[in-house]
Amino acid sequence: MSRGLDIERTGRNDARERRDARESGRSENRKRGDRRERSGHRREYDPRQPRRSFAERVNGSIRDVGTFRAVALRDLVARQFDGHAFAAHKAIAQLERRGLVERQPVLGPQGGTFTVLVATRAGAAEAAALWRETGREGQRTFSGAVKAAEVRHDVAVYRAANDAQARIEAEGGRVTRVRIDAELKGEIAARGERTRRMRDHKAGEEARARAAADLGVPVQDGKVLVPDAQLEYVAADGRDGRCNVEVASEHYRGREIRAKAQAGFALYASSAQAAGVVRRALAEVGSGTGGRGLAGGRSGSRGGRPYEVFEL
């Protein structure tokens, strides 16, 4: 019985019956809500986001894991399931049964452990097929365990790339492809090596520089500055763009940070300590506001804006 329905009072017994009926209805509604939540289909997510079915969220999960090579389970829960942990774990269990992903325990910075997901060969193939269905014909995917020394950095790259994508989309853009550093380095090196074998070392280095330029990767003083991830996108006005994303740790050197900032990279810090290192490095060139501005590789000296640091 609806809560807003006005019913004429006809005595204590009738009132008690109506009250019991209302309580029973509320209890049944709660049960139905619980069943929807347990099914993983209930949408108690951000109403500003488009509705996605459970199957779409599962597909999005394998695409992300295959694309970024390593994704922290907690980040996948946040991105693909809007924090709905039960539905996320149900999805991951399904992907594991299908042999598409594997769990990898990782030691955290404070001594605890967290779970990272990596794609199997079958999972990487499935991710590539799913990307083709969305129109991303050339999207590369990766499989296999990640080195223990690199995995924490890799999962931070996923988080940073998602933030950069959100900023691009907030300006009306649309990401069309993601390249991680492994793909960029591999393609640049392969083109240089092919030319070196056919000609000589100098020609090989020139080929490397041309390959970097073709991929939108800057070269400074003969050194190729490969980002941790690169997002290709179409801006709101229809122009193509690239956003080079870099996640700095506290071990980064000042000159490396300044070079990538000056090249227009969107800089992210993997920790508060790393953010301090980045800001001190940027302060040496007279900027470094530490503000949270727009991604897209337009900050820094090339765009006339202060360098921007996005703390993860």
For 110-123, the pLDDT digits (tens) are 778 899 999 999 99
Does residue 159 have a pLDDT over 90?
yes
Average pLDDT over residues 297-304: 35
* pLDDT on residue 121: 97
pLDDT band, very low/low/confident/very high, at 96 (cuts 50, 70, 90): very high
Q: Tell me which amino acid residue 43 is.
A: R
Residue count of the chain, please give it: 312
Does residue 5 have a pLDDT over 60?
no
Could you read off the pLDDT of 52-73 as tens digits, one per residue? 999 999 999 999 999 999 999 9
Average pLDDT over residues 3-28: 45
Could you read off the pLDDT of 168-193 as tens digits, one per residue? 999 999 999 999 999 999 999 999 99
Does residue 301 have a pLDDT over 70?
no
* pLDDT on residue 295: 34
Task: Provide the mean pLDDT of the chain.
Answer: 81
Average pLDDT over residues 15-27: 50
Does residue 300 have a pLDDT over 90?
no
Least confident range of 31-45, 55-69, 184-198, 221-235: 31-45
Residues above pLDDT 90, as percent of the chain: 62
* pLDDT on residue 7: 29
Q: How many whole angstroms separate alpha carbon 104 and alpha carbon 120? A: 12
Does residue 131 have a pLDDT over 90?
yes
pLDDT band, very low/low/confident/very high, at 272 (cuts 50, 70, 90): confident
pLDDT band, very low/low/confident/very high, at 128 (cuts 50, 70, 90): very high
Average pLDDT over residues 229-236: 97
pLDDT band, very low/low/confident/very high, at 125 (cuts 50, 70, 90): very high
C-beta neighbour count of 18 within 10 angstroms = 15
* pLDDT on residue 112: 83
